[in-house]
Amino acid sequence: MTLRIAALLLFSLPAIVRAATIDVHVTNTAGGKGNVNVAVCDRERFLKQCAYTGSVPARDGETVVTIKGVPAGTWAVLAYQDENSNGELDRNLIGIPSENYGFSRDARGRFGPPSFDDAAMPIRDEAARATVRLH
């Protein structure tokens, strides 16, 4: 009887969701100055607590940060160079970032950050590549 229940449970589970690995190529980085932090966000968590993050020491010119386990869907990638390694994007007195940052698709806002739609890119269940240029 337990074998029968186990079989029913196994076949009633949704299909296993495959996930992508995203190699985020962050350009315009300065080696030896802290870390490059990357976040991959869905529309709901854009510019908030993103579900997928990674951080590696900054390299000169380009730094690659690999993010694993991202489900297929539409995602925006953001990155910044955390020069003082305090784990956050530092801002000046009026709230403008004082560390270099950027978004996928080189999205840029006029008076603030870009919209999710400007930075959004499709991710399938395979290896993916995103490029983010720091400004």
What's the pTM value of the predicted model, to 2 decimals? 0.84
Identify which of 38, 27, 60, 23 has the alpha carbon closest to the alpha carbon of residue 132: 27
- Going by pLDDT thresholds of 50, 70 and 90, the confidence category of residue 126 is confident
Q: What is the pLDDT of residues 52-82, one digit of tens each?
A: 999 999 999 999 999 999 999 999 999 999 9
Structure tokens at 54: 């990674």
Q: What is the DSSP letter of 104?
A: B
Domains of the chain: 17-133 (2.60.40)
CA atoms within 13 A on the CB side of 72: 6
Q: Note the pLDDT tens digit of each residue in 30-53.
A: 999 999 999 999 999 999 999 999
Which distant-in-sequence residues (6+ apart) come within 8 Å of 95 by Cβ? none
pLDDT of 88-122, one tens digit each? 999 999 989 999 999 999 999 888 899 999 999 99
The tokens for 86 are 């305090």
Q: Distance (Å, rounded) from C-alpha 66 to C-alpha 87? A: 18
pLDDT attached to residue 17? 58
pLDDT, position 113: 93
Task: State the pLDDT at residue 16.
Answer: 54
Whether residue 2 is predicted with pLDDT greater than 80 in this model: the reply is no
Report pLDDT for 40.
98
Alpha carbons 30 and 32: distance in angstroms, whole number:
7
How far apart are the C-alpha atoms of 74 and 59, rounded to whole Å?
28
Residue 12 predicted with pLDDT over 50: no
